[in-house]
Amino acid sequence: MKQWVVAKHPKGLVKHTDFRLAEVPVPIPGDGEVLVKTLYLGVAPVMLRYMTNETSFERPLRIGDVMIGRGVGTVIESNSPAFKKGELIQTKLGWREYSIIKDDPYYMTYKMQSKDLSPSFGVGALGMNGFTALIGMQDICKVKAGDNVLVSGAAGSVGSMAGYVAKALGCGKLVGIAGGAEKCGLLLDKLGYDIALDYKQPGLYEKLDAHFSDGIDVFFDNVGGILLDEVLGRINRRARIAICGRISEYLIPPEEYHRPRNLYRIGLKDAKMEGFFVYDYQEHYAHYELQLAQWIREGKLIPLEDIGHGLDAMPEALISLYNGTNGGTRMVKVAP
Ligand SMILES: NC(=O)c1ccc[n+]([C@@H]2O[C@H](COP(=O)([O-])OP(=O)(O)OC[C@H]3O[C@@H](n4cnc5c(N)ncnc54)[C@H](OP(=O)(O)O)[C@@H]3O)[C@@H](O)[C@H]2O)c1
């Protein structure tokens, strides 16, 4: 079987040469272990920080280690009472065709319940990214009828679902920010946004003023930096801001992070701003999956998937998140 290992710790943007494809025998599960066949693997901006050992929640990656990543797979063989052959699970499979996992909290394994829906949804809408969109909009921002909602990184995996979740919760005006005309087209034609703003064109902040002359009630932020500061300058009383990510600052040193001028407006406007991490909400995953799956069946959430084919496509899939060529949830189909 094939697996991708780390060949170099990236400097700046991740490159193809930071990975090496290796051929190894399919592993044999020992006592308490489970053999899983990989069906789909997801990619996420945070993976670059796994490779540079910058996160507190992932084990350090050394040169030659199998690249870490979550995906959806089928249990092929189980020597653990916690798993049965044939079960469909989301877990930390790593970038390989077959994996060994254990019944251990490290893997954050989640058993998929919605068997009538595509297993690929386990990477996006019914996986960590869908849960992230729901946590931000529902649990943190508590979107309610009529709220003016803004989403940054709106055409990406989390952002593409955050808009649907806000609409399903009854929001009013829904505005998305994304890079380029094609992605803005996706926001309007496929992702249910009312207004799309291209941050790569001049005049973004004037456009925010024009479209939010009545202020912003909810901001779901994937980007951070100066954009967050500008939005703080436009919030309404009792606004809610979910800090989901800050991709604009993932590749720059801390001394270059934007220093916000408008933080005082949180107090001035009796607003709330909260960061969150999807792994801290594990006890709610089953409930989240049922809710999101129901919205999919009702047509209130139409997952946008951007699927590459074959394990060989993994490095390119990750690189696409940083050059912005993905639309919706970027993933790779490893096996039928
Ligand atoms: N809090 C949590 O638990 C949690 C969980 C999952 C993900 N996240 C965060 O959520 C965010 C989105 O993740 P995702 O997996 O859905 O990725 P994604 O949005 O599918 O892909 C990343 C997108 O970010 C945009 N981007 C890249 N560089 C940028 C820059 N310098 N400035 C502005 N935008 C830039 C690109 O879109 P454009 O072409 O539109 O620029 C790119 O397509 C990330 O910040 C991630 O870390 C947080």
- Mean pLDDT value across residues 114-128: 96
Total H helices, total E strands in the chain: 9, 15
Side-chain half-sphere exposure of 198, counting CA atoms within 13 A: 11
* pLDDT beyond 90 at 93: yes
* pLDDT beyond 90 at 135: yes
pLDDT band at 55 (very low <50, low <70, confident <90, very high): confident
CB of 158 shorter than 6 A to ligand 1: yes
CB of 156 shorter than 6 A to ligand 1: yes
What is the residue with the minimal CA distance to atom 2 of ligand 1? 277
CB of 247 shorter than 6 A to ligand 1: yes
> Residue 214: what pLDDT?
97
What is the residue with the minimal CA distance to atom 32 of ligand 1? 248
CA pair distance 202, 92, nearest whole angstrom: 41
The pTM score is 0.95
pLDDT band at 238 (very low <50, low <70, confident <90, very high): very high
SS3 annotation, 188-255: HHCCCCCEEEECCCCCHHHHHHHHCCCCEEEEEECCCHHHHHHHHCCEEEEEEEEECCCHHHCCCCHH
Question: Considering the chain, what is the average pLDDT of its residues?
Answer: 96
For residue 220, the cross-strand partners are 151, 242
> Residue 20: what pLDDT?
98
CB of 281 shorter than 6 A to ligand 1: no
Q: Give the H/E segment covering residue 92.
A: strand 88-92
Domains of the chain: residue spans and CATH: 2-124+303-333 (3.90.180.10), 128-279 (3.40.50.720)
What pLDDT digit, counting tens, does each position of 148-199 carry?
999 999 999 999 999 999 999 999 999 999 999 999 999 999 999 999 999 9
> Residue 54: what pLDDT?
87
The residue to which tokens 């002359």 are assigned: 213
